[in-house]
């Protein structure tokens, strides 16, 4: 049974006007100002993403923002549904809201003044079954007076179903693992950064990149190593020991997400599900067919398809398709597997920063995945005109093809100590055939501009690509 006292404990600012949310002083993720800008919008704001990326912190920072604006403390309501060991019925959410309106606001009939706004922030709402129908009822009763902001770690619950029962009532916001720029800012690294730039504008930007690389590459390289190994989570620097950082990423983040999938979707063969997850994680950057994996571990294609859907909706994996002009055929052609969080791969394999130089060959696919994440956020995230894919014909492959309106870029990742012209034959042939202005090779540390077969090829170190977002 939910009581008013249960709610008061979670909302200390109700009884103390001087109480300040400690997260208000934390560095802000890039998504924070976007959420603030949308507070006046009548739609429900829905923040989704992995565990530990800062969704709850953003909610707390929003509370601090509302306090600073002088909003009546009683009209700011926060509740955390952190029940990973059980899934609550929708009646529980209904009871929480009913107690709040009846016992805290003394307004059980939801009769508000015309300019009155109640802010309700519901954290990790995926632990409530059919939460959408409850919020829909409250929203429809008073959409202009009740401002819902919700967070969760399962997109299948927070996006797909919301489109059915909350159609036209919700804005979705994805909070990814930290970008490299956020990593620098949140960890208060006093290093100079280059301004955001566009790979489609390299002719104008190249000289500036060369100068920046000459003066700052040493510091930036060291920091990118830490970022790629364990640095995508805001709290990670609070853990000084590297082994404990690995444990945090593998158990407190990835492990908990896998447990959530098992609990929310009632997965019976838990060991099988975990085995598939780890096998896929070690296949990032590679072509994959679920049927091949199924034969190796004796699992049906149907079961694998379902598991893969869960893992994609839990933000553990993403799929990149082979370039094809037909969107309809895209789902039936070759695809490659990536993870939005490369820390999962590095922590699972206990890679250290020293491995970048000692065994660079082991990092080829990891760096390719890092570049994928940057390109996806830069060019493909919520874009109607930009697309990201890869190209393959026979045994010839180009890692990334970026389409931006009418322009196209071909990008290869070559994380090795030496790059020979013969290694770039496929890239050069492609840009000649498509008559592209230039091609791009992502390197370990080489920065140069070369003319190969009368075509310009820019060689850009991976750590400068990380500066794009």
Check if the beta carbon of residue 106 is closer than 8 Å to that of residue 4. Answer: no
Low-confidence stretches of the chain (pLDDT < 50) are 158-160, 162
Prediction pTM value:
0.93
The length of the chain is 469
User: Which stretches of 232-348 are assigned E, i.e. beta strand?
Assistant: 318-321, 335-338
Cα separation, 389 vs 330, in Å, equals: 10
Fold (CATH) for 4-175: Rossmann fold (3.40.50)
Q: Which of 419, 427, 367 is nearest to 396 (CA)?
A: 427
Check if the beta carbon of residue 317 is closer than 8 Å to that of residue 311. Answer: yes
Q: Which of 48, 35, 321 is nearest to 160 (CA)?
A: 48
In this structure, the number of other CB atoms found within 10 A of the CB of residue 349 comes to 14
Cα separation, 248 vs 36, in Å, equals: 30
- Dihedral class, residue 454 (left if φ above 0, else alpha if ψ from -120 to 50, else beta): left
Query: How high is the pLDDT of residue 351?
Result: 94
161 CB-side CA count, 13 A: 17
Which residues neighbour 336 within 8 Å (Cβ) at sequence distance 6 or greater?
285, 286, 287, 288, 319, 320, 390
User: Which stretches of 153-231 are assigned E, i.e. beta strand?
Assistant: 170-174
Residue carrying the six token digits 């791009």: 440
Distances (CA, A) of 199 to 203, 206, 264, 358: 9, 10, 41, 30
Which residues neighbour 42 within 8 Å (Cβ) at sequence distance 6 or greater?
143, 144, 147
Taking the alpha carbons at both ends of the chain, their separation in whole angstroms is 46
Phi/psi for 418 (5° steps) reads: -135, 135
Q: Name the segment(s) of the chain with CATH classification 3.40.50.300.
A: 4-175
Cα separation, 30 vs 113, in Å, equals: 34
Segment 278-327, tens digit of pLDDT: 989 989 999 987 766 666 677 888 888 899 999 998 999 999 999 876 55
């Amino acid at each position: 049974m939910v009581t008013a006292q249960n709610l008061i404990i979670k909302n200390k600012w109700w009884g103390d006007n001087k109480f300040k949310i400690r997260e208000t002083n934390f560095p802000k993720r890039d998504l924070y100002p976007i959420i603030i800008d949308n507070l006046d919008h009548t739609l429900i704001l829905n923040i989704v993403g992995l565990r530990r990326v800062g969704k709850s912190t953003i909610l707390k920072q929003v509370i601090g923002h509302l306090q600073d604006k002088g909003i009546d403390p009683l009209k700011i309501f926060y509740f955390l549904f952190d029940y990973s060991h059980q899934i609550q019925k929708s009646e529980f959410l209904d009871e929480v809201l009913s107690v709040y309106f009846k016992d805290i606001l003394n307004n059980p009939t939801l009769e508000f003044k015309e300019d009155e706004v109640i802010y309700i922030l519901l954290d990790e709402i995926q632990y409530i079954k059919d939460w959408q129908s409850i919020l829909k009822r409250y929203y429809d009763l008073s959409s202009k007076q009740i401002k819902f902001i919700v967070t969760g770690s399962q997109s299948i619950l927070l996006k797909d179903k919301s489109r059915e029962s909350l159609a036209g009532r919700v804005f979705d916001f994805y909070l990814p693992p930290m970008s490299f720029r956020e990593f620098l800012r949140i960890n208060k690294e006093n290093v100079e950064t280059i301004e955001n730039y566009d790979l489609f504008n390299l002719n104008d930007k190249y000289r500036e990149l060369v100068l920046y690389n000459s003066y700052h590459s040493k510091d930036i390289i060291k920091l990118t190593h830490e970022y790629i190994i364990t640095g995508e989570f805001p709290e990670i620097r609070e853990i000084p020991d590297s082994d404990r950082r690995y444990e945090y990423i593998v158990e407190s983040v990835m492990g908990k997400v896998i447990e959530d999938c098992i609990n929310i979707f009632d997965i019976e063969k838990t060991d099988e599900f975990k085995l598939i997850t780890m096998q896929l994680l070690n296949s990032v950057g590679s072509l994959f067919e679920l049927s091949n994996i199924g034969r190796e571990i004796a699992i049906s294609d149907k079961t694998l398809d379902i598991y893969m859907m869960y893992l994609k909706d839990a933000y553990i994996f993403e799929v990149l398709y082979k370039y094809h002009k037909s969107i309809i055929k895209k789902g039936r052609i070759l695809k490659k597997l990536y993870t939005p969080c490369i820390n999962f791969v590095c922590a699972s394999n206990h890679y250290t920063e020293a491995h970048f130089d000692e065994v660079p060959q082991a990092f080829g696919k990891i760096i390719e995945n890092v570049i994928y994440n940057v390109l996806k956020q830069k060019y493909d995230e919520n874009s109607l005109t930009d697309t990201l894919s890869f190209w393959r014909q026979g045994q010839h492959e180009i890692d990334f093809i970026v389409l931006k309106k009418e322009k196209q870029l071909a990008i290869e990742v070559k994380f090795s100590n030496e790059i020979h012209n013969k290694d770039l034959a496929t890239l050069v042939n492609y840009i000649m055939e498509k008559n592209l202005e230039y091609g791009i090779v992502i390197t370990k540390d080489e920065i140069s501009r070369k003319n190969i077969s009368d075509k310009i090829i820019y060689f850009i170190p991976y750590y400068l690509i990380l500066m794009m977002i």
